[in-house]
Amino acid sequence: METAIKDTKSKDSQQVKKGHPSGDQRFKQLDITMKRNQYRQDSLIEVLHKAQETFGYLETNVLTYVARSLKLPLSRVYGVATFYHLFSVKSNVDTAHTCVVCMGTACYVKGGGEVVKALEKELEITVGGTTPDNQISLMAARCMGACGIAPAVVFDGRVAGKQTPETVMEKIKDWQE
């Protein structure tokens, strides 16, 4: 099952009216953090932490969303994100494909850890790495707001639910063809 992340079940999420035009639930998680910090510009690092947890890495469209929401120049947000080693910044053209496995509690309990192990073995890289041919980056995220379909994996920005080592391997084989 593969679908865009549009689920808005959490109570906190429902209290936040804003959102990304794509309807991607992960941006709502960011909105919650920014709202809690009253959209203060000095909360930038905390917001980037949340973005990294939620998306697994920081992509240009996420940095742009944060910059607009906090009314900061994109160059400033990008500068902070690239300055700190704990943030993983990826431009959309770094790799052909991105695979982000949710390792939040619900997903981990339902087998997210097994999915990661299978991917690491197949791709011969560890989480945070990219295959030598620059084709696939493997990352992990914490809860991305799709616990109802745990374990969740995001393939090139689209979430797939109820994943197993077998289903992720099928996707990887598709990419490798």
Which chain residues interact with ligand FES by CB under 6 A?
A: 102, 104-107, 143-147, 150, 152
CB nearer to ligand FES: pick between 58 and 100 = 100
CB nearer to ligand FES: pick between 56 and 104 = 104
Q: Which residue is nearest to ligand FES (CB)?
A: 104
- Which of 1, 60, 50 lies closest to 28, judged by CA? 50
Residues in the chain: 177
Least separation in angstroms between residue 42's CB and ligand FES is: 28
CB nearer to ligand FES: pick between 45 and 109 = 109
CB nearer to ligand FES: pick between 34 and 107 = 107
Least separation in angstroms between residue 115's CB and ligand FES is: 11
Least separation in angstroms between residue 25's CB and ligand FES is: 9
CB nearer to ligand FES: pick between 91 and 105 = 105
Least separation in angstroms between residue 134's CB and ligand FES is: 27
Least separation in angstroms between residue 159's CB and ligand FES is: 8
